[in-house]
Each structure stands twice: as C-alpha cells, then as structure tokens.
Amino acid sequence: SQQGEEDPQALSIQEGENATMNCSYKTSINNLQWYRQNSGRGLVHLILIRSNEREKHSGRLRVTLDTSKKSSSLLITASRAADTASYFCATGLSYNTDKLIFGTGTRLQVFP
Amino acid sequence: ETGVTQTPRHLVMGMTNKKSLKCEQHLGHNAMYWYKQSAKKPLELMFVYSLEERVENNSVPSRFSPECPNSSHLFLHLHTLQPEDSALYLCASSQERLLSGNTIYFGEGSWLTVV
C-alpha cells in the first residue's frame, strides 16, 4: 500500500461550492505538501504544512494536518471552474530527507 | 512558467531507438529530480541529483540513464525501451536536497510513447 492516498479519487461540484480532499499516510513525516496538476501538465506547489502545524491558509485554500491520525485535508472554498485539476498530497519523510512521496491524487471537476 | 523547462514535450520512439529528454532549470537550485507519471499510479521518483552528484536511484532499469553535467541541466537518456515505459516524465528541482521545508518545482513534462 502507498504512503499517501487521497480520498476521494474523483470529485465533481458546482462553482461556488467548497471542495474537500483528504490524504492519509503511513509513516512519520517532516512536512506534507499539496500540489495541483492541470491535465497533461506539470505539478504546481500549493501549500506546505509542517509536522508541528495543525492548520494553514493560503487564499481560498485551507489545509489541516492531524499527525495522530496521519491525515491531512485540503479545502478549496468558493470553487471556480478554473480549479478543475488533479490535486496531490506529498509527504516529506522524517527518516529520508531526499524523498517526497506523492499519492495518486484526487481529480476535481468544477462545473460552471 | 515555473523556471523548469523540459524538451521535447512529446516524443514517440521505437523500442530500438536511442533518445534523450532534456531539462533545464533557471532557478539557481542545487537539486534536480526525474519523476515518472503513469496512468492511475502515484508519481514515481526515478533519480535525484544534488550538486551534480547522483544521490538516489530508485531501482530504475538500466535502459534509463541520467546525466547531470551541471546544476542547471539534467538529461534522461533512453535506449531499448519497452511499451510499458510510455508515460509522462517530469523533471523537477529544489533549492537543496529535500530537507524539511523545501518544495519542488516541476517542469511541464515530456510525454513519451514507445511503439
């Protein structure tokens, strides 16, 4: 099984609604990051949360981290059609600083 | 524009061909990476270079051969590939090796199709 797994695998919502994506991981981490990927393009970094932080905000993004449950969530508020993309969580492992382990992603579709 | 440029964007090659993917970063970073992205699979880390020295090789088949001539350039040499090697190959860079707090900057990727 994988270090990072996102849930749900796919999410469809209307513009203006909020979108919540979850990520679970298995081993101890230094930090957890969220990335976005438009279809067929490279990944773009959205936000990083360190293992000693519980919540972080960036514009319409809100990320939470619960290290006791080994889980994180990404909330996108007031979604727009332009938010349509795949979203990945990536964990920086505390025992191997050269690896950033990505999950399989959540595909978000926002309908106008 | 992320500051990481990959060429070519698309490549079709036969199983007996030899080709190379090129990556250049304009960010002054010291670490560079190759990732492979296949359908419905997590991103797979292939190689890590730090200050032009390979520091990580995740058991990648020898038909993939990386080269890092300087801290701004990274190549992935391809030879005798298999159809299952068809994927999106992503180059990335970071300020330093992935110590806590570093983020990765990705290129747009090279779509590889092996026929």
Supply A43's token pair: 């990944």
The amino acid at A109 = Q
Chain A neighbors of B108, CB-CB under 8 A: 41-42
Cβ neighbours, 10 Å, residue A59: 9
Angle formed at CA A104 by CA A110 and CA A86, multiple of 5 degrees? 25
Between the alpha carbon of residue A105 and those of residues A3, A87, B43, the distances in Å are: 12, 5, 10
Q: For residue A66, report the phi and psi dihedrals to the nearest 5 degrees.
A: -120, 100
pLDDT greater than 80 at residue A8: yes
- Chain-wide mean pLDDT for chain A? 91
Q: What is the pLDDT of residue A81?
A: 97
The answer to whether B93 and B27 are in contact (CB under 8 A) is yes
Q: What is the pLDDT of residue A98?
A: 67
Chain A neighbors of B56, CB-CB under 8 A: 98-99
Report the residue from B41, B50, B98 with minimal CB separation from A100. B98
3-class SS shares of chain B: helix, strand, coil, % to 5: 5, 55, 40
Q: Is B42 within 8 Å of A103 when comparing Cβ atoms?
A: yes
CA distance A91 to chain B (A): 10
What is the full DSSP assignment across B67-112?
EEEETTEEEEEEES--GGG-EEEEEEEESSSS-TT---EE---EEE
Supply B97's token pair: 């090796």
The pLDDT tens digits of the residues spanning B22-72 come to 999 999 999 999 999 998 788 999 999 988 888 777 789 999 999 999 999
pLDDT tier for residue B100 given thresholds of 50, 70 and 90: low
Give the chain A residue nearest B56 (alpha carbons).
A98
Chain B neighbors of A43, CB-CB under 8 A: 43, 90, 92, 104, 106
CA distance A59 to chain B (A): 18
Q: What is the pLDDT of residue A99?
A: 75
Q: What is the pLDDT of residue B56?
A: 77
Rg (CA), chain B: 13
Q: In whole angstroms, what is the distance from residue B33 CA to residue B102 CA?
A: 13
Supply A68's token pair: 């006791």
Cβ neighbours, 10 Å, residue A46: 19
Q: What is the pLDDT of residue A1?
A: 44
Give the residue-averaged pLDDT of A62-90. 96
Q: What is the pLDDT of residue A97?
A: 64
The pLDDT tens digits of the residues spanning A18-65 come to 999 999 999 888 899 999 999 888 999 999 999 999 999 999 999 999
Percent of chain A topping pLDDT 70: 94
Q: In whole angstroms, what is the distance from residue A91 CA to residue A102 CA?
A: 7
Between the alpha carbon of residue B77 and those of residues A84, B21, B68, the distances in Å are: 34, 6, 11
